[in-house]
Amino acid sequence: MASSTSSSTGRCRRRVVLLRQPSREEDYEPPRRYCYHRMVVSRWTAWTDGNPGRRFYGCPFYYQDGGCGFFAWHDNEFGERANTVIKELSDDIDKLYDENCSLQRVEHGQRMNEELDATHAELRKLRRRHEQYDGELRKGKNKFKVVVSLLFVTYVWLCVLYLKM
């Protein structure tokens, strides 16, 4: 039963356990019953192997050391066949939860791979653009050097012409 969930993640395992937790009803049809504390008793659902799904009345603190000890069954005994069927169905639900968990993990992995691929593509695009800008910058620098050189040569010529005059 519990061993079938051993491969599931912590989150998924908690969901399986929740299914088997004793559920507690405060608002059930009359007559209301009172425990030895004189408190309205809760109606619980047992999930033991012997009584899966069978409801009983217990002190509101039943699952905290048994409370005052008040206990009375609400449902008649289900019988061996019904218990076996309920147990098999519960095991099937556990298996489905496990399968669902592993499918979610696979899907999550695929989604992560797709996101990673998209990031790589974006990175390649940025690199290409960077190389393009780098080339343009280098071209601009060379042009600037040519212009400065021409200006310098012109200045020197003008100086020489001025001195000759």
**How many residues of this chain interact with Zn ion, rule: CB under 5 A?**
5
62 binds Zn ion per the rule CB under 5 A: no
Among 63, 68, 86, 87, binds Zn ion (CB under 5 A): 68
Rounded to a whole number, what is the distance in angstroms from the first to the last CA of the chain?
111
Angle at 84 between CA 29 and CA 58, to 5 degrees: 30
Among 44, 67, 97, 101, binds Zn ion (CB under 5 A): 67
35 binds Zn ion per the rule CB under 5 A: yes
Give 2's Cβ-side CA count (13 Å radius). Answer: 8
Closest CB to Zn ion among residues 35, 101: 35
Closest CB to Zn ion among residues 52, 67: 67
**Looking at 57-65, 112-120, 136-144, 157-165, which segment touches Zn ion (CB under 5 A)?**
57-65
Please state, in angstroms and as integers, the Cα–Cα distance from residue 65 to each residue in 57, 58, 60, 61, 62, following that order.
15, 12, 11, 7, 6
